[in-house]
Structure 1
């Protein structure tokens, strides 16, 4: 292999390019880790002491958690550098892509541009990796075959990122749906204790940050929009649109109608919380009933042939030893 790299110029250049890319990625990751640690140390060094300072730091940390504040990543820096050099990464379907990314948990404004960059890299990178492998291994591939393989791999590179985003969005919506009945119970307790709806959202979001962080961030978004001056109806509708779950959308509509009609919010939450718990129990029972059907496929495909072989092989061997010579 080493002799081949030394003799072949194309293989040597490809190996050097791959080595340079690996070193560059390692350097970028190391620089990000060092900068994050340096930022944490500077915040700890400049932090105030005393009970008031600790309380303020805890409050700021909680607010940062609820807002989902994160450090700028290397991808965002790369996107900004490319756009400064004239590369436009804004998609024409930015709104639809934005909704999918928000449903998957990527709420940063630069998420569509980063996604477009990753899709371009994967679309061009898969065929290049195939060509590099063919050159290094010395395999001879015809022109038509290489064309179809390149088109196929480029299609995979184009489709795989959106499939990953869709799978993550589905899993995140399932987590929201599973944690929503518990959030309704906590909100019912807060409302019956005398808290307002905005304070109840804030309190439930803080309490559920560790058990259901995605749902807590959505609740915190409602609180921040209400504090910024947005109307309760608009904030609840935006909350339902961000979550993308039918049950949460129905819950928002229910609260809006309860506010307009002047009915009791506690009674509304009590009825809807009981309904959500019943739906969660029904979903669990549905999965339990589907389990035997799903297990039938591997049982029939894997265990049944083995059982038939164990039962029939002795009879076949005896027939070959006794019946076949007798017939002969």
Structure 2
């Protein structure tokens, strides 16, 4: 059989075609199974992404917070109290920035305390490695400035995070209200509508999705609806969310139409967002005038004065001095 195949070109072509067909069939089946697995993996990833959006960042953040919490606990066990006389305001500020842990105020105080000594210490190490050390007065004032920065920089960072979080919540909340209005008009209850919003806005507005999902889970765990909604307003730290939760509580108590309430409040939120955008647009001419005056005005004055100054130097001054 082998001799026949090797001697006859027809049989050789048939065998080659058979081998080629088998290899092609094997590659097709393997690629089909691989593509199907990849497609299923992508679909599962999309399904789980809405429920676990930002899971890696949240896990890393929780681990970091737990490490700092353990450090703060050990320091307090050693006898150093990290409490603050204004701890209520600090807790409110940290909640607005997204730090809702019970140990967040003490960790915040610990970070400020460490920075007060760490920044001047790094500067002293830098000075010690220099060949020619600066004067003692300069070292003193530099260490004082660095200590003040270590005291106030964490506050500025937390306030910036709180403002960024507040802006993100305010800008995305009208979309969530529209989606909630659609869910309520479709016949869903308040709890089902909140659950739907939490799943649908997981990628577009993750902060709102996280807060609403936590509220839904509290309701399912048996918490009172009024308490869960009030806690939502306190967790958000935004006046618009507090007003919304109060509106839902009153609508639930009085038995008014939830769809009408949502429609009116959603239009008010969008109108407020439009007014904020117009306010920013009206501030642009004032903000643009600063670089115009600082950079363009001297160049324009120089361009206008230069011909007259050149003419004065070449003709007027020589004629006045008699240089002709």
TM norm. shorter chain > 0.5: yes
The one of 162, 183, 186 equivalent to 1:193 is 186
Structure 2 unaligned regions, length at least 5 = 1-39
Change (3 A) 1:69 1:302: closer
The one of 226, 234, 242 equivalent to 2:227 is 234
Give how far 1:120 is off: 2.3
Q: Secondary structure at the match of 1:73?
A: helix
Q: Secondary structure at the match of 1:218?
A: helix
The one of 59, 65, 71 equivalent to 1:70 is 59
Aligned partner of 1:16 in structure 2 is: none
Give the distance between the partners of 1:65 and 1:98, measured in 2 at CA.
26
Change (3 A) 1:159 1:76: same
Give how far 1:83 is off: 3.3
Give the distance between the partners of 1:82 and 1:276, measured in 2 at CA.
41
- In the TM superposition, 1:255-266 aligns within 5 A as 255-266=248-259
Deviations 1:14-44 (A, max 9, x none): xxxxxxxxxxxxxxxxxxxxxxxxxxxxxxx
Aligned partner of 2:83 in structure 1 is: 91
Q: Secondary structure at the match of 2:121?
A: helix
User: Do the aligned residues in 1 keep the contact of 2:72 with 2:107 (CA within 8 Å)?
Assistant: no
Given the two structures, how large is their TM-score scaled by the length of structure 1?
0.76
> In the alignment, does 2:314 pair up with 1:324?
no
| Bigger CA radius of gyration | 2
Aligned partner of 1:218 in structure 2 is: 211
User: Do the aligned residues in 2 keep the contact of 1:89 with 1:117 (CA within 8 Å)?
Assistant: no
- In the TM superposition, 1:158-169 aligns within 5 A as 158-169=151-162
Give how far 1:147 is off: 2.5
Give the distance between the partners of 2:311 and 2:192, measured in 1 at CA.
81
Give the distance between the partners of 2:244 and 2:71, measured in 1 at CA.
43
User: RMSD value over aligned CA atoms?
Assistant: 2.6
Give how far 1:109 is off: 3.7
Aligned partner of 2:174 in structure 1 is: 181
User: Do the aligned residues in 2 keep the contact of 1:66 with 1:216 (CA within 8 Å)?
Assistant: no
Given the two structures, how large is their TM-score scaled by the length of structure 2?
0.77
Deviations 1:152-185 (A, max 9, x none): 2101101000110001101110111111110100
Q: Secondary structure at the match of 2:129?
A: helix
Structure 1 unaligned regions, length at least 5 = 1-50
- In the TM superposition, 1:268-307 aligns within 5 A as 268-307=261-300
